[in-house]
Amino acid sequence: MLPTEISHKLLAVNAAVMYKLYKSKTPVMSGWVGSIAAFVQCIVMVRLTGLYRSNISAKHVIRDAMQESDVPADSVQRIGDINLKQWLAVLLPFPQSVSMSLAFPGVSKVQTVIFAHVGKNKTTPLLMDVYKHRDTPPDAPIMLYVHGGAWIMSSREFPPYPFIYQVAARGWVVCVVDYQLAPKIAFPEQLIDAKRAIAYLRRHAREQFAANPNYIVVGGDSAGGHLASLIALTAADKSLQPGFENVDTSVRGCVDTYGVHDFKDRHGLYFYKQKDHTFVRFIELLVMQKKMSEADDAWEQASPVGWLREEKTCERTDAIPPFLVSHGTLDTLVPFDSSRMFFEQLQLYRQRTHQPSVGGVSDVFLEIPGAHHTFNYLLSPRTLAHGQAVGAFLDNLYQKTKDIPLQLPTTLSPCQAVELTVATPARISPMASSRL
């Protein structure tokens, strides 16, 4: 991950060292050892140059993908545009806090709040960090962000800061949340904790953050992407809201960045990469804490792709919100095809149910060329282009759905809705049809 996102800085360091040695006339390169070292150094610099060119050119692939969506063309064309302050933040060796302030002036963490207390014998507070721009207008939309860390580590204090700051700079209130970690707890406690954050925002967002509690989009990376997808797919499952069943935990959209989508590895993506069942054993031992052979339904419900199966189609009574799914092509931890297959299943679900996403906003899949896992944790031209694409998606989503009620009231499953549409087309108004 490091060489691909900071190749420009590594290239500058290597060039500076070579120049220093040349100017000092140090005989370090004399003899055959020095000659080999110089040759290797040249190869390294050529490789770093190639990585940097790939990083910069990623914006073209991202633009092409966004052009297939309903995002306005002028917003798509601005993807990859970098201003002077952002270039300085990318190129100069500043600490990340300085780089973020330089690239996105006016954005800061404004509050840390306790959104829930969890635990049986000894309760533990769950915390939420709130980021916003100083000029964010009242009643701003919210992005709830769920951090990654393989469900067993990390916290809200270590999110992808470039992404968080980019979204906040566009006028969104970004709330980064903690959740309980395995193996102290088993799934689905992590998911329930994230839904507790939504319940908290429904009650307190307006008074505490001047944000709109009825407009929440969820996002996350890696394990957080897995949880974000499940939040978007399980709003109707009240068993995942113990003690707050009456709260509407639906979201307006989902930004899933290199998330995990299939605990069961039914297509063998992890097995093909690892040549063994390490991934499934890890999930079994630490995350689910139950064997797949003994709890197949629980494993299925813990997999986002499981909620899109054909046999689940007729069970849903809620609409799936628009998704933006992105994944780096060089990800060696979570297979790229995991996101691609999940996105394909989402499109098949929409085709089967004749149910477009809410507001007519199209789902988007972003293939990030040359990017590794956690690529968006470091500031680079590719990271900025990815964040701009997500921002364009979010702004388009907000403009098209901000006036739609929080949750479309329906007691019909997609199958029943389709049957009703076919049987009595004259009874359904154009507005109602667009909402199915």
What total number of domains does the chain contain?
Answer: 2
pLDDT at 113: 98
Pairing mode, strands 140-146 and 323-328: unpaired
- pLDDT level of residue 27 (50, 70, 90 thresholds): low
- The model's pLDDT over 348-362, given as tens digits with 9 standing for 90+, comes to 999 999 887 788 999
CB-based contacts of 99, cutoff 8 Å, min separation 6: 89, 90, 92, 379
327 CB contacts (<8 Å, ≥6 apart)?
A: 257, 258, 334, 336, 338, 339, 340, 366, 367, 368
**Same structural domain, 16 and 101:** no
Percentage of residues in the chain with pLDDT exceeding 90? 73
Q: What is the rounded CA–CA span in Å between residue 249 and residue 304?
A: 16
Q: What local confidence, expressed as pLDDT, does residue 28 receive? A: 59
Is 8 noted as a catalytic residue in this protein? no
Mean pLDDT of 410-435: 43
The reply to whether 103 and 34 lie within a common domain is no
Q: Is 222 tagged catalytic? A: yes
DSSP 9-21: HHHHHHHHHHHHH
> What mean pLDDT, rounded, does the chain reach?
90
Q: Looking at the predicted structure, is the pLDDT value of residue 397 above 70?
A: yes
DSSP 408: -
Question: Can you tell me whether residue 124 is helix, strand or coil?
Answer: strand
Q: What does the chain come to in residues?
A: 436
| Amino acid at site 304 | P
The answer on 241 and 193 residing in a single domain is yes
- Helix (H, G, I), strand (E, B), or coil: what is residue 330? coil
State whether 162 and 14 are in the same domain. no
Residue 217 has pLDDT above 90, yes or no: yes
Q: What are phi and psi of 158, to 5 degrees?
A: -130, 60
Element (H, E) at 327: strand 323-328
CA distance 200 to 211: 12
Please enumerate in sequence order all residues whose Cβ is within 8 A of that of 241, keeping only pairs 6 or more positions apart, or say none: 192, 195, 199, 247, 249
pLDDT confidence of 2, banded at 50, 70, 90? low
406 versus 2: which is more confidently predicted? 406
* Position 318 in a domain: yes
Q: What is the DSSP letter of 305?
A: G
Q: Is residue 269 part of a domain?
A: no
Q: Is residue 278 part of a domain?
A: no
H or E element at residue 161: helix 161-169
Examine the domain organization and report whether 38 and 76 are in the same domain.
no
Amino acid at 66: M
215 and 135 co-located in one domain: yes
Residue 191, in any domain of the structure? yes
Q: Would you state the pLDDT for residue 120? A: 84
- Among 380, 282, 362, which Cα is nearest to 321's? 362
Statement to judge: residues 66 and 49 lie in one domain: no
CA distance 394 to 216: 11
Catalytic residue among 331, 339, 357, 362: 331
pLDDT of residue 407: 63
pLDDT average, residue stretch 144-148: 99
Domain for residue 267, yes or no? no
Looking at the structure, do residues 35 and 103 belong to the same domain, yes or no? Answer: no
pLDDT on residue 26: 63
CATH, residue 168: 3.40.50.1820
Q: Which residues pair with 290 in a beta bridge?
A: none
Indicate whether 157 pLDDT > 80: yes
Model confidence at 435: pLDDT above 50 = no
From the CB of residue 210, how many other CB atoms can be counted at a distance below 10 Å? 15
Query: How large is the average pLDDT for residues 322-348?
Result: 97
Q: Which of 362, 373, 380, 386 is catalytic?
A: 373
Kindly state whether residue 374 falls inside one of the protein's structural domains.
Answer: yes
- Written as six digits, the tokens of 133 are 């721009």
Give the residue-averaged pLDDT of 132-157: 98
pTM: 0.90
Answer yes or no: do 78 and 46 share one domain.
Answer: no
Same domain, 184 and 211: yes
Cα 27 from chain centroid (whole Å): 50
Does 255 lie in the same domain as 157? yes
Structural element, H or E, at residue 209: helix 189-209
What is residue 29's predicted lDDT score, i.e. its pLDDT? 57
Q: How far apart are CA 134 and CA 43, in angstroms?
A: 46
Tell whether 379 is covered by a domain.
yes
| 371: CB partners within 8 A, 6+ apart | 4, 5, 58, 328, 329, 330, 331, 382, 386
Least trusted range by pLDDT, from 9-23, 150-164, 179-193, 287-301: 9-23
Q: What is the pLDDT of residue 23?
A: 73
With b for 16 or more beta-carbon neighbours within 10 A and e for fewer, the 167-176 pattern comes to bbbbbbbbbb
The reported pLDDT for the residue numbered 415 is 61
Q: Which of 254, 272, 268 is nearest to 308 (CA)?
A: 254
Tell me how far apart the alpha carbons of residues 260 and 221 are, in angstroms, rounded to a whole number. 9
Give the model's confidence band at 5: pLDDT under 50 very low, under 70 low, under 90 confident, else very high: confident
The single residue of 222, 303, 326, 362 carrying the catalytic annotation is 222
- The radius of gyration computed from the CA coordinates of the chain, to the nearest angstrom, equals 23
pLDDT digits (tens, 9 = 90+) for 187-210: 999 999 999 999 999 999 999 999
Task: Using the predicted structure, report yes or no on whether residue 432 has a pLDDT greater than 90.
Answer: no
pLDDT at 6: 85
Hey, how many other C-beta atoms are within 10 angstroms of the C-beta on 370?
20
Mean pLDDT, rounded, for 266-270: 93
Answer yes or no: is pLDDT of 343 > 90: yes
Per-residue model confidence (pLDDT) at position 43: 87
Dist. CA 297–CA 206, nearest whole Å: 38
> 159 and 22 share a domain?
no
Work out the angle between the directed axes of helices 189-209 and 223-233 (0-180°, nearest 10). 80
pLDDT digits (tens, 9 = 90+) for 269-325: 998 876 678 999 999 999 999 999 999 999 999 999 999 998 877 777 789 999 999
Can you tell me the mean pLDDT for 82-102?
95
Q: Are 139 and 216 in contact (CB under 8 A)?
A: no
Does 276 reside within a domain? no
Range of the domain at 42: 2-53
* Rounded Cα–Cα distance for residues 412 and 430 (Å): 18
